């Protein structure tokens, strides 16, 4: 399966009257387009079992131990003989660790950039350091959980009435978390936290920052500021509860400092900016059997459009590319970049083994109800979000993204932790595909929600910005929906509120990835 095939070109077109769809002529399974009943004859196959929509059925006899093929790739192995017409799922497929002879840069498609005069634009906030914001927040960051309530109380002071005189400010938001002390002062966990805090403090969507600590924690504000050369001034202030004199005094002092920031933050206004300034976090959550058929390839098409316009698309969730990483190494700009990805895959295998787990703990129960069976199947659908262009970089969690084009960031599959890392790395927009239905919101980066199936979209229209399920239910094309996603991204980047923003979501989804012992 080449990278060009990761944006689905159906072997058989979706047709509800037929009842199933075959994604490749190499596949020995098809996907049910509607609920199918045992003994029903569908596209020349008589069903042995009932098969729910989005689930798979065998279109050939599969011997015990043989590979089950979907997307022209192995998604698992039959635990017993499976007969033509049987439902294929967790009861008769098992996961096995995959071994690949990795190829590097064999399928690295150089994107054709549009001439500057033809590139898309949006209305953004230009920052002094050259970054461009899609939103204009003031952020209050806790260095440690011990100051979490203080930062929340400071932020709660600034309701919409108090900000009425500052129309260019999107809000004052607190970012609190559950760590910052009781951890080693070096290593993956400490580095993750410090990169996240630095990334949010320097984010393009943030005009001013107040950082609040307790004073005695492992994650000292002074060391963070020194390490990342954060210069204190009116728009970057710090304080410790112990030094200020307690909780109430800290809240009062924090409110006073934010009030000093408001006029300066409000001075910035939206202006025309090139789409090359956009960094898009690609995410899927609550995935189902349609994710890799509709929403993910449509988002991949939009990602390719963004890359052609000079922008950046960031794929993440390392456990959810497991088993499909060989498709990404083929797209790597060079061997060193491809090997950086494999190094992260190997780290995850060791990490999971140390903790007595399995890479196949993913998919979740909800994923399985929606038709996904193994992590291999889920990953093959997930990588479609990354489109088809070459892989220009691989980043550690929350590391600053300094390459344009398509890149990868090592994150967990847990959506809030994953997106926290992508935003810390510089993403100023989020595109989130979902099949079971997620209501995720993200501050300071707006998040749009893309439904994989029309049934869920109709049920959750208040939360879904785009219905990619139309690809199956109404015959829409992947390019058509991909264009719709890209155009909405430009509109949201220009200030149109996503549905999650309209509902006020995004205050509690700040989740730095914790790695290591809590002591």
pLDDT for 362 beyond 80? no
419 and 296 within one domain = yes
Among 267, 300, 333, where does a domain finish? 267
Closest-CA residue to 481 (of 438, 439, 431): 431
- Tokens representing 238? 């710090």
330 and 246 within one domain = no
Higher model confidence: residue 63 or residue 519? 63
Asked, for residue 127, whether it belongs to a domain, the answer is: no
308 and 324 within one domain = yes
Q: What is the pLDDT of residue 415?
A: 97
Closest-CA residue to 56 (of 86, 17, 15): 86
Q: What is the pLDDT of residue 17?
A: 62
Closest-CA residue to 429 (of 412, 415, 447): 447
Asked, for residue 74, whether it belongs to a domain, the answer is: yes
Q: Which DSSP state fits 118? A: G
186 and 304 within one domain = no
CATH number of the domain at 34, please: 2.30.130.110
pLDDT for 396 beyond 90? yes
Among 62, 94, 126, where does a domain finish? 94
Please write the tens of the pLDDT for every residue from 489-516. 999 999 999 999 999 999 999 999 999 8
* Rounded distance between C-alpha atoms, residue 26 and residue 9, angstroms: 13
pTM over 0.75: yes
pLDDT for 184 beyond 80? yes
Higher model confidence: residue 95 or residue 458? 458
* Span of 94-103, 142-151, 277-286, 345-354 with lowest mean pLDDT: 94-103
Calculate mean pLDDT across residues 235-253: 98
DSSP character string of 397-421: TT------EEEEE---SSHHHHHHH
335 and 263 within one domain = no
Calculate mean pLDDT across residues 352-358: 88
Computed on alpha carbons and rounded to an integer, the radius of gyration of the chain in Å comes to 24
Q: What is the pLDDT of residue 18?
A: 73
257 and 369 within one domain = no
* Rounded distance between C-alpha atoms, residue 266 and residue 101, angstroms: 54
Q: What is the pLDDT of residue 363?
A: 85
CA 99 to chain centre: 26
Proportion of the chain above pLDDT 70, given as a percent: 97
pLDDT for 386 beyond 80? yes
Asked, for residue 118, whether it belongs to a domain, the answer is: no
Please write the tens of the pLDDT for every residue from 267-324. 999 999 999 999 999 999 999 999 999 999 999 999 999 999 999 999 999 999 999 9
Closest-CA residue to 87 (of 46, 57, 66, 64): 57
- H-helix or E-strand spanning residue 284: strand 279-284
Please write the tens of the pLDDT for every residue from 453-470. 999 999 999 999 999 999
Asked, for residue 518, whether it belongs to a domain, the answer is: no
Asked, for residue 19, whether it belongs to a domain, the answer is: yes
Asked, for residue 516, whether it belongs to a domain, the answer is: no
Please write the tens of the pLDDT for every residue from 216-232. 999 999 999 999 988 89
- H-helix or E-strand spanning residue 430: strand 429-434
89 and 142 within one domain = no
Q: What is the pLDDT of residue 5?
A: 42
Please write the tens of the pLDDT for every residue from 8-48. 555 556 666 678 999 999 999 999 999 999 999 998 899 99
Dihedral (Cα; 462, 465, 468, 470), 10-degree rounding? 60
pLDDT for 424 beyond 50? yes
Q: Which DSSP state fits 59? A: S
* Rounded distance between C-alpha atoms, residue 435 and residue 438, angstroms: 8
**Residues spanned by the domain of 250:** 137-267
394 and 301 within one domain = yes
306 and 253 within one domain = no
pLDDT for 2 beyond 90? no
Asked, for residue 428, whether it belongs to a domain, the answer is: yes
The full length of the chain comes to: 519
CATH number of the domain at 216, please: 3.40.1400
* Rounded distance between C-alpha atoms, residue 149 and residue 131, angstroms: 31
Q: What is the pLDDT of residue 13?
A: 61
Q: How many domains does the chain have?
A: 3
CA 262 to chain centre: 31
Q: Which DSSP state fits 209? A: E
- Tokens representing 239? 């304080």
175 and 30 within one domain = no
Calculate mean pLDDT across residues 242-261: 98
pLDDT for 391 beyond 50? yes
Question: 273 forms bridges with which residues in the sheet?
Answer: 122
255 and 168 within one domain = yes
Asked, for residue 252, whether it belongs to a domain, the answer is: yes
- H-helix or E-strand spanning residue 338: helix 335-354
297 and 427 within one domain = yes
Calculate mean pLDDT across residues 408-413: 97
């Amino acid at each position: 399966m080449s990278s060009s095939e990761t944006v689905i070109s159906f072997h058989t077109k979706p047709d509800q009257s037929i009842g199933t769809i075959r994604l490749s002529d190499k596949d020995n399974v098809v996907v049910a387009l509607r609920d199918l009943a045992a003994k029903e004859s569908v596209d020349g196959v008589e069903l042995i079992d009932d098969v729910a929509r989005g689930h798979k059925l065998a279109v050939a006899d599969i011997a015990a131990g043989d590979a089950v093929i979907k997307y022209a790739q192995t998604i698992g192995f039959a635990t017993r003989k499976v007969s033509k017409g049987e439902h294929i799922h967790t009861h008769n497929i098992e996961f096995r660790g995959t071994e690949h002879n990795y190829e590097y840069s064999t399928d690295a498609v150089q994107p054709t950039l549009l001439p500057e005069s033809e590139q898309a634009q949006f209305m953004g906030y230009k920052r002094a350091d050259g970054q461009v914001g899609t939103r204009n927040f003031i952020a209050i960051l806790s260095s440690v959980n011990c100051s979490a309530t203080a930062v929340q109380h400071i932020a709660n002071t600034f309701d919409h009435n108090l900000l009425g005189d500052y129309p260019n400010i999107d809000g004052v938001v607190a970012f609190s978390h559950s760590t910052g002390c009781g951890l080693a002062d070096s290593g993956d966990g400490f580095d993750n936290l410090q990169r996240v805090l630095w990334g949010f403090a320097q984010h393009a969507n943030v005009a001013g920052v107040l950082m609040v600590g307790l004073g005695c924690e492992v994650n000292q504000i002074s060391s963070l500021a020194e390490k990342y050369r954060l210069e204190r001034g009116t728009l970057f202030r710090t304080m410790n509860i112990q030094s200020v004199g307690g909780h109430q005094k800290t809240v009062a002092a924090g409110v006073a400092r934010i009030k000093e920031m408001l006029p300066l933050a409000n001075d910035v206004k939206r202006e025309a900016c090139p789409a090359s300034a956009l960094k898009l976090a690609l995410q899927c959550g609550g995935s189902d059997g349609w994710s890799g058929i509709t929403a993910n390839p449509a988002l991949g098409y939009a990602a390719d459009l963004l890359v052609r316009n000079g922008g950046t698309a960031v794929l993440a969730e390392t456990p959810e590319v497991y088993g499909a990483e060989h498709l990404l190494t083929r797209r790597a700009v060079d061997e060193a970049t491809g090997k950086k990805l494999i190094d992260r895959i190997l780290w995850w295998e060791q990490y999971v083994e140390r903790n007595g787990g399995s890479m196949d703990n993913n998919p979740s129960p909800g994923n399985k109800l929606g038709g996904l069976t193994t992590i291999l199947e889920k990953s093959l659908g997930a990588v479609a979000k990354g489109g088809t262009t070459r892989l220009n970089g691989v980043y550690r969690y929350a590391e600053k993204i300094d390459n344009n084009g398509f890149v990868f960031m090592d994150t967990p599959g847990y959506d809030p932790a994953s997106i926290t890392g992508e935003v810390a790395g510089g993403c100023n927009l989020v595109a989130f595909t979902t099949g079971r239905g997620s209501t995720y919101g993200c501050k300071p980066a707006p998040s749009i929600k893309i439904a994989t199936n029309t049934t869920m979209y109709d049920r959750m229209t208040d939360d879904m910005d785009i219905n990619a399920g139309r690809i199956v239910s109404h015959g829409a094309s992947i390019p058509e929906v991909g264009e719709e996603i890209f155009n909405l991204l430009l509109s949201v980047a220009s200030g149109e509120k996503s549905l999650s923003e309209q509902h006020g979501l995004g205050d509690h989804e700040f989740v730095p990835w914790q790695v290591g012992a809590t002591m």
